[in-house]
A = this chain, B = another copy of it.
Amino acid sequence: MPRYTQLIASLPETVPFVGAEVHERRLGRPFRARLGANESAFGPSPRAIAAMAEAAAEAWKYGDSELHDLRAALAARHGVLPANIVGGEGIDGLLGLLVRLLVAPGTPVVTSRGTYPTFNYHVAGFGGVLHTVPYRDDRPDLDALVDAVRSTASPLVYLANPDNPMGCWHSGRMIGDFLDALPGGTLLCLDEAYADTAPPDALPAIAPDDPRVIRMRTFSKAYGLAGLRVGYAIAAPGLVQAFDRIRNHFGIGRIAQAGALAAIGDEAHLRETVARIAAGRERLAAIARENGLVPVPSATNFVTMDCGRDGEFARAVVAALAERGVFVRMPFTPPQDRAIRVSVGTDADLAVLAETLPDALAAAGT
């Protein structure tokens, strides 16, 4: 038996998310509608597909360890410098590295109870002590988060804006006020995975060199490239350099860099996808209402639907949908676990949902 560290030996066997294919293998058949992982069924830019196909023949070369061209393009897009950009194997990978930079065994860390669980997975994985603040009105409670940071003297606080799993958002002004209210020396991990689908006023104006915050972005959502695993963060150059001390320097491969770079260059595809996502949200909200559920207003590529009962009922709805070939997920913790979370999909996907949801609700209710 290997001599694991004390910390590793103490970790649970849980994983943050059970993948779609894992569910399919358990069910014994593929899903008809894949609406559980907040992917973009509208797919990546055709330019990105072409760039990836072209890069495939060059896949014998390691990718650029400095992500030079990709960081330059991202910097231009965001009006920052390449020195403000760090890339990683998805936001999930970057969250792991960020936690490792700031969290040793016993370090207090603050987040909202029930928000993105992979952050918590990493905090536990590095021995941090998680302090979770309940949502207020189904949204992260900014005042209570500040209080928790103060009382725990945490060096790190996580906020997803827009939020996952609820889809809601705070205004950029409120995020700015939140940042100003945090005690000095606290780093805000602002997870903006859903920034591309959010209204512009949900995104705070933050100076790129502001040392108090790191903003996480991804190609997995509106860009339709979840299967590439490219995330990035915008932060002060000193923090970007700190990642270089621990990151997997060749971790973003050649095809991934080529695909992401081409995707940035196709703004028309992004705009079109965002418009389709917005229309899909409306359709999802309508489907929810037609079935007596209450859609939570969303700035993301999913709609969380309040089922109006308890977690047991919502879990039964998720299971009943899965049995009918529809993959959705749900918030993990009470009282938000009274809802189900449905990603925007194609018209065909949403037609499958509309067809199966009444039956699934009936099956869950009995």
Contact = CB atoms under 8 A, between A and B. Distances in A.
Most buried by B among A2, A20, A43: A2
A359 interface: no
B224 A60 contact: yes
Interface in A63-82: 63-66, 68
B22 A248 contact: no
A239 interface: yes
A148 to B, nearest CB: 16
Interface string A34-71: 10010111111000110011011111111111101000
A12 B224 contact: no
Given A56-B49, A59-B228, A226-B60, A2 B250 contact: no
A280 interface: no
Nearest to A2: B187
Interface string A220-232: 1000111111000
Interface in A248-264: 248-256, 259
A311 interface: no
Nearest to A22: B66
B211 A59 contact: no
Contact of A58 (B13, B56, B101, B227): B227
Nearest to A12: B245
B4 A61 contact: no
Contact of A185 (B3, B44, B249): B3
Contact of A7 (B61, B90, B104): B104
Contacts of A229: 63, 250-253, 256
B64 A56 contact: no
Interface in A162-207: 185, 187
B255 A227 contact: yes
A28 interface: no
B59 A44 contact: yes
A96 interface: yes
Contacts of A11: 245-246
Contact of A227 (B39, B59, B242): B59
A259 B55 CA distance: 12
Given A11-B246, A57-B43, A226-B60, A66 B21 contact: yes
Given A5-B104, A44-B56, A226-B253, 20 more contacts: A1-B211, A2-B185, A2-B242, A3-B187, A13-B244, A17-B250, A21-B66, A43-B57, A48-B59, A49-B59, A52-B56, A52-B59, A52-B255, A55-B227, A58-B227, A59-B259, A89-B251, A125-B246, A228-B255, A229-B253
9 contacts: A5-B104, A8-B242, A20-B62, A37-B62, A39-B62, A52-B52, A53-B53, A60-B226, A89-B89
